[in-house]
């Protein structure tokens, strides 16, 4: 058993940091040390930022994004194409698509996927909210950007059924060879999907 090098206060900071994704105990220790060493330049502004976010964070009542404003920054951005809604499972997926700058649209966060095995049904996800939004005549297309997992695809089929009759085009992400990917390294499922969703050259 290693002997303690700091008192309970800094130890608690380390333990909390270690709960963050991507930070194990070792990285948490290094992060805590940096914070303590750079008290004025890093620890103080971080503490302020965390307090502000803690006090003001909310879930967007329109799309499910997290922000300090409701409706969120994405929903109130007038430069976005309001005719397209990109449906994602999680806020992390929304942020990933935004990082890529792939689409200038609005989003809808389902909050998960249908999973009969885990007891997650349609009422556990924000599908009703999506149907309501898609019924707005302004909306022309719903892009289902759910994960290429069994549950993700089940959810996509279910959502497609629910949107049926609203007059919106429902599309999904292409499945196929990743950019920079080598065929030899791909699994059979990805290769088969890539062949099936081939496009004219
Ligand atoms: Zn929003």
Residue 68 banded pLDDT, cuts 50, 70, 90: very high
pLDDT above 70 (res 58): yes
Range(s) of the chain covered by CATH 1.10.8.420: 8-56
Q: Mean pLDDT over residues 50-79, rounded?
A: 97
According to CATH, what is the number of the domain 8-56?
1.10.8.420
Residue 123 Cα to ligand 1 midpoint, Å, equals: 20
Locate CATH 3.40.1360.10 in the chain: 77-172
DSSP string across 42-98: IIHHHHHHHHHHHHH-EE-TTT--EESSSS-TTTT-TTSEEEEEEEESSHHHHHHHH
Please say if the pLDDT value at position 1 is more than 90: no
- Residue 154 is encoded by which pair of tokens? 């089940």
pLDDT in tens, 155-176: 999 999 999 999 999 999 988 8
What's the CATH class of domain 77-172?
alpha beta
CA of 164 to the centre of ligand 1 (A): 24
pLDDT in tens, 2-50: 787 888 999 999 999 999 999 989 999 999 999 999 999 999 999 999 9
* Percent helix / strand / coil, the chain, rounded to 5: 45, 15, 40
Ligand 1 midpoint to CA 188 (Å) = 37
Structure confidence by residue, pLDDT tens digits, 106-158: 999 999 999 988 999 999 999 999 999 999 999 999 999 999 888 999 999 99
Bridge-based pairing state of the strands 105-109 and 141-144:
unpaired
Q: Name every residue whose Cβ is closer than 8 Å to that of residue 32 and which is 6 or more positions away in sequence.
A: 10, 13, 14, 17
Residue 83 C-alpha to ligand 1 middle, in angstroms? 15
């Amino acid at each position: 058993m290693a002997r303690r090098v700091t008192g309970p206060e800094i130890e608690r900071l380390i333990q909390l940091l270690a709960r963050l994704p991507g930070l194990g105990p070792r990285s948490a220790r290094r992060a805590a040390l940096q914070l303590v060493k750079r008290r004025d330049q890093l620890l103080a502004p971080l503490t302020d930022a965390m307090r502000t976010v803690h006090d003001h964070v909310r879930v967007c009542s329109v799309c499910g994004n997290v922000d300090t404003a409701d409706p969120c920054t994405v929903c109130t951005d007038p430069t976005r194409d309001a005719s397209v809604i990109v449906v994602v499972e999680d806020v992390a997926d929304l942020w990933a698509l935004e990082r890529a700058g792939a689409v200038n649209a609005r989003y809808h966060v389902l909050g998960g996927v249908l999973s009969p095995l885990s007891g997650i049904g349609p009422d556990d996800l924000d599908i009703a909210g999506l149907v309501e939004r898609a019924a707005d005549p302004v909306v022309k297309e719903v892009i289902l950007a759910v994960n290429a997992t069994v549950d993700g695809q089940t959810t996509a089929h279910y959502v497609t059924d629910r949107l049926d009759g609203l007059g919106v085009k429902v599309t999904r992400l292409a499945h196929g060879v990743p950019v920079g990917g080598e065929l030899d390294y791909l699994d059979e499922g990805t290769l088969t999907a890539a062949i099936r969703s081939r496009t004219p050259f």
